[in-house]
Amino acid sequence: EEAKEPPRIQRLSESVVNRIAAGEVIQRPVSAVKELVENSLDANSTSINLLVKDGGLKLIQVSDDGHGIRLEDLPILCERHTTSKLSAFEDLHSIKSMGFRGEALASMTYVAHVTVTTITKGQLHGYRVSYRDGLMENEPRPCAAVKGTHIMVENLFYNMAARRKTLQNSSDDYSKIVDLISRFAIHHINVSFSCRKHGATRADVHTVATSSRLDAIRSVYGISVARNLIKIEASDNNPSTSIFEMQGYMSNANYAAKKITMVLFINDRLVECSALKRAIEIVSLLNQEVIIEKIQSVIESRLRSSNETRTYQEQT
Ligand code: ADP
Ligand code: MG
């Protein structure tokens, strides 16, 4: 076969590079929500409120009462790799915040229209500014504001037609967002959360700051979940392995669910751990086998005794 000429290698334009990178950081509306809520938590907010329109494609709005953003930082707020959480590489050892890469807001401005309203302590008014492709679209304008930061992400993936179309056909993004906020709300119990769909009068998640984890679980997952929980604790301070401490709740046998839901935070980060989930599922499956065996033997003996009666009846 005749060898083909190799294709030419070209340098991608910066805007293509940025949009591709942004699309990886922000895969779907729920990823934008996660980044925004983590920023609000990092800003020491005690109240975080979300409004979502059209599964997050039309609008994601997050309002918090955190420390706000300084006027002089607004010009670089949405540039890539700008952050208040990390300065030296070594800081990574001791980092307590969720964010540190300075990529989330920047990414959002490459795939959506972002508007920030913020006020810092002691100021008489706040500032509002919109961003596109990492940069301010206008000078920050003074405006009325309450404590904290209010971020609007509009028309997500307006410039990624294929992604927008796939997401438009799937209606489950709002439920993914509700699920995410529910999880945050039962972990960060000292913060009040709300999440509402645009046009709805009732919020789908609504919690008030509390000191009781069970109260938080009750207001998110309902009375019957909260009523049937067993507390579990485990720790290991063998210094030769890693030191860990865990606290949690699990449903007891009175609570029947179609599938296992596991909410796991490691060092305050929401994580998926399929290995742990599988291990837990095996435990419940073992129970299931015992139960199935029991039912099976009951049915078997009932059948046997009914056969005996039948035989007896046929004989008479
Ligand atoms: P990172 O969280 O990794 O620092 P982001 O792009 O998410 O990067 O945010 C950039 C910076 O913007 C943050 O470091 C923080 O200083 C500021 N910021 C973002 N959201 C908020 C908020 N809700 N309140 C206060 N500051 C914020
Ligand atoms: Mg962040």
Q: Which ligand has the nearest atom to the CA of 40?
A: 1
Residue 56's Cβ-count burial label (10 Å; 0-12, 13-18, 19+) is: buried
Non-local (6+) Cβ contacts of 278 within 8 A are: none
Could you give the CA distance from residue 147 to residue 216 in angstroms, rounded to a whole number? Answer: 24
Pocket flag, ligand 1, residue 84 (CB < 6 Å): yes
Pocket flag, ligand 1, residue 51 (CB < 6 Å): no
Q: Tokens standing for 170?
A: 């799937």
Non-local (6+) Cβ contacts of 48 within 8 A are: 37, 40, 41, 62, 63, 64, 191, 192, 193, 194
> Could you tell me the distance, in angstroms and rounded to a whole number, from the CA of residue 151 to the centre of ligand 1?
11
Could you give the CA distance from residue 30 to residue 180 in angstroms, rounded to a whole number? Answer: 8
> Could you tell me the distance, in angstroms and rounded to a whole number, from the CA of residue 39 to the centre of ligand 1?
5
> Could you tell me the distance, in angstroms and rounded to a whole number, from the CA of residue 35 to the centre of ligand 1?
9
> Could you tell me the distance, in angstroms and rounded to a whole number, from the CA of residue 41 to the centre of ligand 2?
9
Residue spans per domain, the chain: 14-213, 273-316
Could you give the CA distance from residue 116 to residue 141 in angstroms, rounded to a whole number? Answer: 11
Pocket flag, ligand 1, residue 47 (CB < 6 Å): no
Pocket test for ligand 1, best of 35, 63, 71, 83 (most atoms within 8 A of CB): 83
Could you give the CA distance from residue 225 to residue 271 in angstroms, rounded to a whole number? Answer: 22
Pocket flag, ligand 1, residue 29 (CB < 6 Å): no
Q: What is the pLDDT along the chain (316 residues), one digit of tens a residue?
A: 678 899 999 999 988 999 999 999 999 999 999 999 999 999 999 999 999 999 999 999 999 999 999 999 999 999 999 999 998 998 888 888 998 889 999 999 999 999 999 999 999 999 999 999 999 999 999 999 999 999 999 999 999 999 999 998 776 899 999 999 999 999 999 999 999 999 999 999 999 999 999 999 999 999 999 999 999 888 877 777 667 788 999 888 888 887 888 999 988 999 888 888 888 777 876 777 777 787 788 888 888 877 666 555 555 4
Q: Tokens standing for 46?
A: 């005690």
State the alpha helices, DSSP H only, in the chain: 14-25, 29-42, 104-111, 161-169, 173-187, 213-221, 223-227, 274-315
Task: Give the 3-state DSSP-derived string for 5-43, with helices as H, strands as E and coil as C.
Answer: CCCCCCCCCHHHHHHHHHHHHCCCHHHHHHHHHHHHHHC
Q: Which ligand has the nearest atom to the CA of 104?
A: 1
Pocket flag, ligand 1, residue 204 (CB < 6 Å): no
Q: Which residues pair with 194 in a beta bridge?
A: 49, 206
The per-residue pLDDT for 252 is 85
C-beta separation of 183 from 263 below 8 A: yes
Domain at 14-213: CATH code:
3.30.565.10
Pocket test for ligand 1, best of 105, 153, 191 (most atoms within 8 A of CB): 105
Contacts 24+ apart (CB under 8 A), 90-97: 97/42
Residue with tokens 């039948």: 310
pTM, entire model: 0.88
Q: Which of 116, 93, 92, 94 is nearest to 104 (CA)?
A: 116
Query: In ligand 1, which atom is closest to the CA atom of 64?
Result: 23
Q: Tokens standing for 157?
A: 């993936």
Query: In ligand 1, which atom is closest to the CA atom of 104?
Result: 6
Could you give the CA distance from residue 273 to residue 196 in angstroms, rounded to a whole number? Answer: 28
